[in-house]
Amino acid sequence: MKTISFAVAAATACFSLGAWAAGAADSVSVVDPYVRLAPPGAQATGAFMVLKNAGDKDVKVVKAENSASKITELHTHINENGVMKMRPVPAIDIKAKGEAVLQPGGLHVMMIDLKEPMKEGDKVAITLDFDDGSSKKVDATVRKPMPMPAMPAAADHSEHMKP
Amino acid sequence: MSQRLLFAVVALLAMAVIALALFWQPQLPSVPGLSSAPAGGDFVLTSADGPIDTAALRGKVVLIYFGYTYCPDICPTSLAVTSQALGKLAPDELALVKTVFVSVDPERDTPARLKSYVEFFHPSIVGVTGSAEQVALAAREYGAVYARQDVGGAGYVIDHSAWTYVVAPDGHLAGRIPHGATVEQTLAEIRKWLPSSSTPKGSS
């Protein structure tokens, strides 16, 4: 009996997985997904990627999950006069024929409470759930933090208080 | 009648303005010179290898950053840029630069955790923290701000300013490098304040 119910559950899961893989998930492609290698001692890190929407409809990522941390959230950063405010966002919008850029200093998939220390080259399975119920699985590679001028401040010169 | 009333109102307003001009002396926050420019200053905080007293770092360029290890993105980005700039310094230059990462999250960041965190970026960076009061005092000296926010599933995150403060060898706060600066900009800023003994033809 137990076996049967398990089999049914498994079959249902497979079926639903198949059903999800339509809609938004089909029109969205993921470019260069990566996870920032968390320094030893760090309990959180972020995943970054570019989401391109080839479809004619706006879509949203409403939820994410990943294999490397216990908690996954969608976050962004707000730079208020040099103060970085990290905030969860309810969704990441990807306009029709447009793209959403998840990059350092901005939108990211926040990975909290890492299950174990990670190393460069590890793969992290990230599942993105879209607003139409479809979902997409992405394999992101763990990379070392790279200096990437992502903020508008990158063009600024350093500020001097005294000449 | 209404004209008299109007006159009375105008007279009252005029008196108020004169009184204000005579007696109201607005006090800006009690910092001389620029209204809110922080001056920097020394602090003693704890690292995994003992106390760090910035007063003992005279003669060096000191880079100070206020952050926390749960910071998934901003701190690692800033530290990665700083560490790459440090990596471009000649050994005799590097010997005259000290980078201090101050955790504004003493509740979660132990000195031991800070050590492994900062050394991942560059072995010359030291991670320090202290009591909430000690950290607040140090941050105030430099004009760094931070505020705990109970959002998301991580328990809390900390809003924080992301400047790298540059302290000249004489101890004065010489400048601050904004988040997003390039490695080259950071390197130039460090070299600008290096003691002349480390440049080819020093005059002092």
List pLDDT tens digits, range A140-154. 999 986 655 444 443
Residue A102: inside a domain: yes
Residue A103 domain-assigned (yes or no): yes
Residue A78 inside a domain? The answer is: yes
| B174: contact with A, CB 8 A cutoff | yes
Instruction: Determine, yes or no, domain membership for A157.
Output: no
Query: Token pair for residue A116?
Result: 């174990």
In chain A, which among 95-134 make CB contacts under 8 A with chain B?
104-105, 108, 110-113
Query: What confidence score (pLDDT) does residue B24 get?
Result: 60
pLDDT surpasses 70 at B199: no
- Can you read off the two tokens belonging to residue A147? 């200096």
CB-CB under 8 Å, B116 with A40: yes
Average pLDDT, chain B: 87
Report the CATH number at residue A115.
Answer: 2.60.40.1890
The verdict on a CB contact (< 8 Å) between A73 and B152 is yes
Q: Note whether B177 contacts A158, CB cutoff 8 Å.
A: yes
d(CA A154, CA B182): 7
User: How does DSSP classify residue B83?
Assistant: H
Highest mean pLDDT among A12-26, A135-149, B140-154, B161-175: B161-175
Reference B87, options B125, B48, B49, B54; nearest CA is B125
Instruction: Look up tokens 């303005």; give the residue.
Output: B17
Nearest by CB: B77 against A40, A71, A147 = A147
Burial B56-95 (b: 16+ CB within 10 A, else e): ebeebbbbbbbbbbbbbbbbbbbbbbbbbbbeebeeebbe
| Neighbour-count burial of B167, counting CB atoms closer than 10 A to its CB (0-12 exposed, 13-18 middle, 19+ buried) | buried
Listed in sequence order, the residues at least 6 apart from A2 whose beta carbon sits closer than 8 Å to its beta carbon are none
Residue-level pLDDT at A12: 52
Residue A51 lies in a domain: yes
* Domain assignment of residue A126, yes or no: yes
- Mean pLDDT on A61-70: 96
Better-scored residue on pLDDT, B97 or B197: B97
CA–CA dist B115, A57 (Å, integer): 48
- What average pLDDT score do residues A38-65 get? 95
Please give the C-alpha separations between residue A138 and each of A23, A50, A123, in angstroms, as whole numbers: 16, 12, 10
Q: What are phi and psi of A125, to 5 degrees?
A: -85, 120
- Structure confidence at residue A160 as a pLDDT band (50, 70, 90): low
Write down the residue that tokens 């840029």 correspond to: B81
A142 membership: H or E segment, kind and range: strand A135-143
**Which residue in the set A88, A144, A153 is minimally distant from B179, CB to CB?**
A153
Closest chain B CA to residue A38? B72
Backbone angles phi, psi at B25, to 5 degrees: -115, 95
Distance CA A159, CA B37 (A): 12
Rounded to whole angstroms, the Cα distance separating A160 from A143 reads 34
Quote the mean pLDDT of chain A: 83
Mean pLDDT confidence for B108-137: 96
pLDDT one-digit tens code per residue, A73-112: 999 999 988 899 999 999 999 999 999 999 999 999 999 9
- Can you tell me the mean pLDDT for B21-26? 60
Cross-chain residue pair A112–B79, CB shorter than 8 Å: no
Contact status, residue B142 vs residue B38, Cβ threshold 8 Å? yes
Highest mean predicted confidence (pLDDT) among A1-10, B17-26, B77-86:
B77-86
What pLDDT score was predicted for residue B15? 76
**Which residues span the domain enclosing A105?**
2-145
Mean pLDDT value across residues A55-83: 94
Residues A61 and A130: beta-carbon distance below 8 Å: yes
Q: How far, in Å, CA of B139 to CA of B164, rounded? A: 12
**In this predicted structure, what is the pLDDT of residue A6?**
58
Q: For residue B81, is pLDDT > 80? A: yes
**A34 lies in some domain:** yes
Cβ–Cβ < 8 Å for B179, B84? no
Q: How far is CA A124 from CA A115, A121, B29, B111, B154, in A?
A: 12, 9, 50, 29, 20
Cβ pair B28, B35 in contact under 8 A: yes
Q: pLDDT exceeding 90 applies to what percent of chain B?
A: 69
Check residue B105 and give its pLDDT: 96
Percent over 70 (pLDDT), chain B: 84
Nearest to B118 by CA among B98, B137, B139: B98
pLDDT tens-digit profile of A104-137? 999 999 999 999 999 999 999 999 999 999 999 9
User: Inter-axis angle of helices B183-193 and B74-87, to 10 degrees?
Assistant: 60
pTM of the model: 0.77
Torsion of CA B92, B79, B164, B130, to 10 degrees: -100
The structural domain count of chain A equals 1
* Per-residue confidence (pLDDT) for residue B33, from 0 to 100: 40
Q: What is the pLDDT of residue A162?
A: 42
Is there a domain that residue A159 lies in?
no
Asked if this assembly's ipTM is beyond 0.90, the reply is no
